[in-house]
Structure 1
């Protein structure tokens, strides 16, 4: 896998499922593993990325896409989303339909790059998928792991499910609504995926 790469997202691209009629899954992605793996084998994924966010709902980050024969696909995307003229840390989880949560980045409005990590964690109540913003030191060491979201359903039914791990970028706005250049370019580096 290339250590640094860029995903370019044209307008009208998204990964979002909202009733009654929206089911978009056309955002460009870059696979961080060559093939889907059994969900039971997934432990952790991390990536650092940056972009020039200008238009409402511009986004980039990680995508975990779940598939199983005979079932409707499920997924989680997490990273940055541009909303109300600000950069937010965003997580969307989709079991049947999508839900969305946002929070300001730890680094404030001056965020230049963002590192996101998703990881399997087990406590006395069972397994969950946790989403974190990481604050890294100059040598890449983790200085702070800021919890953003616990997704309890993601690991609840692992039998038969496979997960694809990718970087993603999207620009849901229509072409005429885009501020600045037509396409959104998101630069990625430092991808890590742990399988057990």
Structure 2
């Protein structure tokens, strides 16, 4: 039977949780916050974005969904769903998907990091600077969907994410970032959050 559970942890508290309930949240991100990784050491490598999350076992994870919106207006502004896989050496592997502001437009940006991160962009399902996103466990893989009305639009399959083992648990949550330099904070609204585990 599925269980819906609220967040219990907050990472990188360089921004405030403005308000929270069990299904609706508002996070702020300061300038120069990001989640990014290159295979070699780089000044751009960062893991300092504010996140609300719950630690669960990857074997118990079934689904996470949220609707995200904001006044996206600065290059690389972003917010959405994230999975983080802490490693024994103190590093992290991760998967994130959310709205991302690029070239003066909003996209669904998805990035996956193992030894380095890759990145893809899509414009499916975005309406009025808002999109509904879903992570789902299917046949051993993590699938990433954009939810557009009743339609689930698949945008990525990550085959390794849920097979890393349960030794250190897996963070499931929401994040926001403002990687560019700005004097203003990015305020991101999250609603309709669901996390299903067994």
TM-score by length of 1: 0.84
Name the CA distance, whole Å, in 1 between partners of 2:49 and 2:90.
21
Name the CA distance, whole Å, in 1 between partners of 2:125 and 2:56.
32
Name the CA distance, whole Å, in 2 between partners of 1:24 and 1:163.
19
Name the CA distance, whole Å, in 1 between partners of 2:52 and 2:121.
23
Residue matched to 1:172: 179
* Counterpart check, 1:111 vs 2:128: yes
Name the CA distance, whole Å, in 1 between partners of 2:197 and 2:77.
30
Q: Compared with structure 1, are the counterparts of its residues 144 and 24 closer, same or farther at alpha carbon in structure 2 (3 Å cutoff)?
A: same
Name the CA distance, whole Å, in 2 between partners of 1:159 and 1:50.
32
Name the CA distance, whole Å, in 2 between partners of 1:187 and 1:80.
12
Residue matched to 2:147: 134
Residue matched to 1:4: 24
Name the CA distance, whole Å, in 2 between partners of 1:175 and 1:159.
38
* Counterpart check, 1:153 vs 2:160: yes
Aligned counterpart for 1:184 among listed residues 186, 189, 194: 186
Residue matched to 2:33: 13
Q: Which runs of 5+ in 2 are unaligned?
A: 1-5, 7-20
Name the CA distance, whole Å, in 2 between partners of 1:73 and 1:128.
19
Following superposition, the deviation at residue 40 of structure 1 comes to 1.1
4+ residue runs over 3 A deviation:
none
Following superposition, the deviation at residue 158 of structure 1 comes to 2.3
* Counterpart check, 1:41 vs 2:60: yes
Please report the RMSD computed on the Cα atoms of aligned residues, expressed in angstroms: 1.6
* Counterpart check, 1:195 vs 2:184: no
Structure with the greater alpha carbon radius of gyration: 1
Residue matched to 1:88: 107
Q: Compared with structure 1, are the counterparts of its residues 168 and 183 closer, same or farther at alpha carbon in structure 2 (3 Å cutoff)?
A: same
Following superposition, the deviation at residue 42 of structure 1 comes to 1.0
TM-score by length of 2: 0.83
